[in-house]
């Protein structure tokens, strides 16, 4: 039986400023090829209010040099000490860090949460802690033993042959049935612990889907600011406008693509190419009904992660009336965020971009309120199920 993993990233999760082993693969390889050893410390379970999610990693070299951060400073010193110890022992270990109310100076998280950290040593070729690489493209997933044994498998493409043999290498079993289930989890972008049923073996799977696409309709100062900030957050940004005088690469240097085309035609083509899907976001910023209405009439019929449109309340009312007249149902109209953004008193293009991006993040995180943290109760960071309820995959 296959159950969902307890800890997972939302599809196309954006973890800008948070590093995972997937980001560190090339750096790790260069350290090992130089003849040095290195330990990778990874959060494999997080509960309560914690600053970083499962999958966050940091590297500790044999000399004690550190790359990355797990908690923003709360537990790093203790993790470095444990990593150096693991390198000396040649064996992986797990450590738990949490808030200790009885000792303000204890190693722990002042925010009150708990982290379970897998610390895994790696050594130059020929040594223990092998890191096996399957070919094809950039890394899409890493599979590791989370129970103190074995090495790691870095996967470029989950469809390539060899995953079964790789799992056999780190798990010590013929894992053909498990490989198929792991492929499904990898393709969905899940990160979390995975147990082989009928076996004491526990794996930690880290995988990701490509960052979501953000389509900005309209080339103006607002879309320029939004493009730059969205790029910093990890979105793949496309700017589209039918007016070549406003739509240039020099104006949108951070965008992945700048297209001079009628936006509704462009988005239809992207949908046909499979590049406008449930992870995609569209923000209409043109202030021009001849562009806005055909785009909104089309994209509101599709299931997207976010659809927003800029405009005053009068413009919004006129837009809604026109869309109703065009046959867009009330159910579909509720998907439109207009006027777009959060109420922060934004005036400048940069402030408006902050307002819109903050709203996108809130919607993608389950329609969070966007209220000041002082006005809400409960954990500051959304908590998922505990990893005791791990994903189970069939063992042979």
Domain assignments of the chain as residue spans, ordered by start: 21-209, 213-369
Looking at domain 213-369, does it have CATH number 3.40.50.720?
yes
Full pLDDT tens readout for the chain, 396 residues: 222 222 233 333 444 445 777 777 778 888 888 888 888 888 887 765 555 677 788 888 888 888 888 766 667 788 888 889 988 888 888 888 765 544 444 444 455 567 888 888 888 876 555 555 555 556 678 888 777 666 677 777 666 566 776 677 776 665 566 777 777 777 777 788 877 767 777 788 888 777 889 999 999 999 999 999 999 888 999 999 999 999 999 999 999 999 999 999 999 999 999 999 988 999 999 988 899 999 999 999 999 999 999 988 999 999 999 999 999 999 999 999 999 999 999 999 999 999 999 999 999 878 888 888 788 776 665 544 333 334 444 433
Is residue 341 classed as helix, strand or coil in its secondary structure?
A: coil
| Threshold 0.75, pTM exceeds | no
**Tally of CB atoms within 10 A around 191:** 28
Report DSSP state, residue 375: G
Q: Which sign, positive or negative, has the C-alpha torsion 280, 158, 196, 194?
A: negative
Q: Which sign, positive or negative, has the C-alpha torsion 64, 66, 69, 74?
A: positive
- CA atoms of 327 and 104, how far apart (whole Å): 62
């Amino acid at each position: 039986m296959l159950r969902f993993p307890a800890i997972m990233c939302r599809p196309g999760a954006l973890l800008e400023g948070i590093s995972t082993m997937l980001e560190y693969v090339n750096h790790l390889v260069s350290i090992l090829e130089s003849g040095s050893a290195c330990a990778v410390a990874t959060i494999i379970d997080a509960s309560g209010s914690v600053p970083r999610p499962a999958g966050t990693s940091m590297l500790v070299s044999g000399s004690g040099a550190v790359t990355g951060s797990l908690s923003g400073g709360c537990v790093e010193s203790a993790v470095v000490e444990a990593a150096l110890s693991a390198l000396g022992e040649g064996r992986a270990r797990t450590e738990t860090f949490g808030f200790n109310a009885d000792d303000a100076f204890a190693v722990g998280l002042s925010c009150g949460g708990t982290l379970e950290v897998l610390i895994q040593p790696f050594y130059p070729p020929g040594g223990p802690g092998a890191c096996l690489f399957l070919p094809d493209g950039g890394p899409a997933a890493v599979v590791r033993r989370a129970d103190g044994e074995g090495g790691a498998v870095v996967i470029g493409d989950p469809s390539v042959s060899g995953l079964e043999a790789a799992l056999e290498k780190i798990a010590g079993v013929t894992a053909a049935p498990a490989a198929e289930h792991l492929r499904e989890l990898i393709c969905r972008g899940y990160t979390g612990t995975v147990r082989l049923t009928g076996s004491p073996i526990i794996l930690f799977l880290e995988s990701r889907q490509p960052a979501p696409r953000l389509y900005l309709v309209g080339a103006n100062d607002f879309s320029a600011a939004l493009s730059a900030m969205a790029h910093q957050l990890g979105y793949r940004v496309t700017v589209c406008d039918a007016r070549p005088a406003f739509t240039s690469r020099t104006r949108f240097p951070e965008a992945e693509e700048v297209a001079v085309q009628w936006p509704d035609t462009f988005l239809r083509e992207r949908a046909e190419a499979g590049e406008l899907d449930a992870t995609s976001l569209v923000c209409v910023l043109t202030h021009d009904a001849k562009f806005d209405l055909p785009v909104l009439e089309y994209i509101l019929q599709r299931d997207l992660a976010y659809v927003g449109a800029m405009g005053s309340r009068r413009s919004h009312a006129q837009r809604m009336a026109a869309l109703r007249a065009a046959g867009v149902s009330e159910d579909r109209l509720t998907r439109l965020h207009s006027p777009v953004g959060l109420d922060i008193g934004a005036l400048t293009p940069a402030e408006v971009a902050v307002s819109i991006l903050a709203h996108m993040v809130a919607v993608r995180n389950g329609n969070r309120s966007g209220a000041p943290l002082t006005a809400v109760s409960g954990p500051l960071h959304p908590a998922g199920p505990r990893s005791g309820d791990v994903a189970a995959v069939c063992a042979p």
